[in-house]
Amino acid sequence: MAAPVTIDHRSTDYSLKRAYWLALASDLAYKDEAAIDAQAREWGFDTVRHHETRFTPPFPLQDTQAYTMASEGMVVTAFRGTEPKQIKDWLSDATAPPHSGPGGTGYVHDGFAQALESIWPDVQNTHAELRGNDQSVWFTGHSLGGALAMLAGARMYLEDPRLAADGVYTYGQPRTCDSALATACNTGLRERLYRFVNNNDIVPQLPPEPPYAHADTLRYIDSHGRVRESMSLIGGLTDHAAGLTADPLAPASDGVRDHFMHSYLTALEKNLT
């Protein structure tokens, strides 16, 4: 890893340094509670709360996990993702029913809606308890965690605009909602919602479009590891093809390899230097 990133607990501007640090926070969500608590303290957060719900079959997930850390200047909730194969198989199921979106806006993949709902009351109560010093508020997550972070940001904004998060950063996020909710996020979370996609990562291509859609604020990591704020259609197709040649013996594995959190961290770290 690069040298530790200095965290500005008060600023709310977009930066690659913040994107890298929130990616580290997303990666931390995969660790156990002791590791999360220790790292949060190193980052200057004196309070940590853990959120978890266990599911029973036939729900496709075993649990939903997240943590919230708070300082005098900043509150961050990071949602844990899941294994690439598990979420890929799940999202490939075209029979998944829609679920009414936050504030009655649009529709959401039912699995994401249920996963967030299972811990949302605890997250809300934690924010109500810890958000008392005009702190900045952030949601982040990788993979499934990215979908839940996006929904959390949308839900907070649509259900009580006064509490809108200052930023939502996701990594390898699948399509989470329909175009109506995506459009609402483009409007209400403009210049707050940033969706990082690493080259041929397979998960952001699922579930199929339509009926599912992405919000607009893409940050694309090209085959050379550069973060781009825009990419033409032809340029994107060429770059996707270049990524597939990275491993000529197993080109089909590129979509899974590009999804790993380590790949996102490596690319973002490279952009800082």
pLDDT digits (tens, 9 = 90+) for 212-261: 999 998 999 998 999 998 765 544 445 545 444 454 444 446 678 899 99
What's phi and psi for 261, nearest 5 deg?
-60, -35
Asked whether the bond before 210 is cis by omega within 30 degrees of 0, the reply is yes
Q: Does the structure show a pLDDT above 80 at 83?
A: no
pLDDT digits (tens, 9 = 90+) for 34-62: 999 999 999 999 999 999 998 776 676 77
CA distance to 22, 25, 57, 170, per residue, from 146 (Å): 11, 12, 23, 5
Task: Name the token pair of 19.
Answer: 């994107």
Asked whether the bond before 58 is cis by omega within 30 degrees of 0, the reply is yes
> Helix H segments across 92-232?
110-130, 144-159, 179-188
* Residue 265: half-sphere exposure toward Cβ, Cα within 13 Å: 18
Average pLDDT, whole number, for the chain? 87
Neighbours of 206 (CB within 10 A): 18
Q: Does the structure show a pLDDT above 50 at 1?
A: no
Q: Dihedral sign, CA of 99, 127, 131, 12? A: negative
Question: Would you call 143 a catalytic residue per the annotation?
Answer: yes
Mean pLDDT of 192-219: 92
Catalytic residue among 26, 27, 136, 201: 201
Mean pLDDT of 75-82: 95
* Structural domains of the chain sorted by starting position, each given as residue range(s) with its CATH number in brackets: 16-272 (3.40.50.1820)
Question: Would you call 247 a catalytic residue per the annotation?
Answer: no
Catalytic residue among 26, 71, 136, 143: 143
pTM summary value: 0.90
